Amino acid sequence: MTDTRPAVTRRAVPSRLILLLGALMLAYMVNSLNKIVFPLVVDDIRVHFDLTLGQAGLQSTIFALGVGLAGIPGGFLLSRFKRKTIIVVGTLTFSVATVLTAFGIGFWSMLVTQTIAGVGEALQVTALLVVAAAALPNTPSAAVGSLNVVYGISAIIGPVVATQLLSTFGTWRAPLIALAIVGVLAAILVTLLVPTWLTERNEDDDREVAAAAVETEDVSDANVPDGLWNHNTRVLVGVGVIASIVSFGYFGMYPTFLKEHHGFSTSTVGIIVSIAGTGALLSILGGFLTDRFDPRAVLVGSQLAMAAIGAALYAGPGSFAWQLAWAIAGGVVSNGIIFVNMSAVLLKSVTPARAAQAAGLFVVCWFTPGAISGYIFGELVDLTSWSGAGLIQLTLGSLVAAAGFALLRPDRLRVSGPLARKRAARAVTLPDGASAAGSHESTEVPSSDEAADHRDEEPARVVG
């Protein structure tokens, strides 16, 4: 049988990514819209069901529990079924659960359906992360960033459409029903239009691309442990819990903060959230940061910036211009830099053969803690104030996350582009027996954990 797939070359990879994103954009947009739309209607849901602020916050972020619970199983399913199939099943699961949420009869029923919606999102997102990273295997940060641009588009469309539906139909159920309908249409389009060669890559494809990169010194993975668990993955999973609570607490409760604390109308909140979400449009540029610069410095610096943004938003003036400006900054840093680069660095912490497992691991550590972030924020508001909750969860949490990211070991990451060429150049100029990574990127003596990372590695690996 003749192979009809296009030849896999380094030059053909960017065009493949463009086609992939164009075909799958609508499917990913459905889940992105949920993160934008639900926080806008949660205040109406709170009034309708007479919920406490903590309960409303939990409703706003509980979907993340489903995402986290299904992350690892999603990675397992990717090794058994086609990625395209997983994307379609995930999108349909999310859509059905969203309809059930719209017709929920109370707090507990909606909590269950939102969690199920998260399961659908996990299946879809895990598959899309692997597909995007496979499309640009040597620059996973840019690949994930390209995918996250869809979130920015959703942030522009979502609030405008949601507020219009709220105004037209006079019920919070209307945006959710519309979202479910779009999800079903997206699943149908992916089934009919997306060819499997865009979503499926076999081992031979990966080897060919990797071999081409090695020949031109555009990728270096000599120091990357073969297993899933190593020093960097442990750090990222641990810090991811804190970074997740910061990010989800911000996006899940910020619209309610603007309404209750500053008295903004729903339409005004929609404008701020819509414009602020466009920060994700810079995800491609943000993704290139860890492909060009020290990933540890990028993550530490961006988390410190998030600490300052949290203080400005929750302890600063309540004027429209001030909130809009700092909300845009929050969108750029959280969506365009932290989310993209944390997921990409986790993928760089393992070999390409472990990419699906690493994607599932990221989904778990990022989304599971986010499930309770809205509830934590709501309880902190009751215990202190809106400003106090923001300073504790966003500012203090970001400072702790920055300290955690400082523990990363860049010399144990798979690098590409300029970083790979610099590493190769140092290896050539160093005396025999010296370690390029050890002499320049870190002078620390390897810990017992780090020594264990390499205990089972092969002495040398040639890809291809």
Tens digits of per-residue pLDDT, 8-34?
Answer: 444 444 555 555 556 567 777 877 787
CA 322, CA 304: separation in Å to the nearest integer? 20
For residue 207, what pLDDT is reported? Answer: 47
Q: Which residues of 148-186 are buried (b: 16+ CB within 10 A; e: fewer)?
A: bbbbbbbbbbbbebbbebbeeeeebbbbbbbbbebbbeb
Output 203 or 242, whichever has higher pLDDT.
242
Q: What is the mean pLDDT of residues 419-435?
A: 50
Output 25 or 127, whichever has higher pLDDT.
127
Structural domains of the chain in order of their starting residue, each with its CATH number: 13-205+213-412 (1.20.1250.20)
Q: What is the mean pLDDT of residues 50-71?
A: 85
Output 350 or 321, whichever has higher pLDDT.
321
Contact 124, 90 (CB under 8 A): yes
Q: Does the pTM of the predicted model rise above 0.85?
A: no
pLDDT over 80 at 374, yes or no:
yes
Q: How confident is the model at residue 227 (pLDDT cuts 50, 70, 90)?
A: confident
CA 201, CA 8: separation in Å to the nearest integer? 10
Residue 227, token pair as written in the block: 């297993």
For residue 7, what pLDDT is reported? Answer: 44
Q: What is the mean pLDDT of residues 100-113?
A: 92
Q: Cα 32 vs. chain centroid, distance in angstroms?
A: 11
Output 448 or 150, whichever has higher pLDDT.
150
Contact 335, 279 (CB under 8 A): yes
For residue 9, what pLDDT is reported? Answer: 42
pLDDT over 50 at 59, yes or no:
yes
Weakest-pLDDT range from 191-205, 240-254, 327-341, 397-411: 191-205
Q: How confident is the model at residue 334 (pLDDT cuts 50, 70, 90)?
A: confident
Q: Other CB atoms closer than 10 Å to residue 8's CB: what's the count?
A: 19
Q: How confident is the model at residue 392 (pLDDT cuts 50, 70, 90)?
A: very high
For residue 320, what pLDDT is reported? Answer: 94
pLDDT over 60 at 202, yes or no:
no
For residue 436, what pLDDT is reported? Answer: 42
The H or E element containing residue 128 is helix 107-135
Q: What is the mean pLDDT of residues 156-172?
A: 86
For residue 292, what pLDDT is reported? Answer: 79
Weakest-pLDDT range from 97-101, 111-115, 322-326, 446-450: 446-450
| pLDDT tens by residue, 232-245 | 889 999 998 999 99
Residue 252, token pair as written in the block: 């899940």
Q: Which range, 2-11, 141-150, 269-278, has the best average confidence (pLDDT)? A: 269-278
Weakest-pLDDT range from 41-50, 224-233, 263-272, 412-421: 412-421
Residue with tokens 């943004």: 309
Question: Of 394, 464, 449, 28, which Cα lies nearest the Cα of 225?
Answer: 449
Q: How confident is the model at residue 176 (pLDDT cuts 50, 70, 90)?
A: very high
CA 358, CA 350: separation in Å to the nearest integer? 7
Percent of the chain with pLDDT over 70: 75
Give the chain's mean pLDDT: 77
Contact 74, 122 (CB under 8 A): yes
For residue 140, what pLDDT is reported? Answer: 60
Q: Where are the alpha helices (DSSP H) in 136-172?
A: 140-169
Weakest-pLDDT range from 23-27, 73-77, 280-284: 23-27
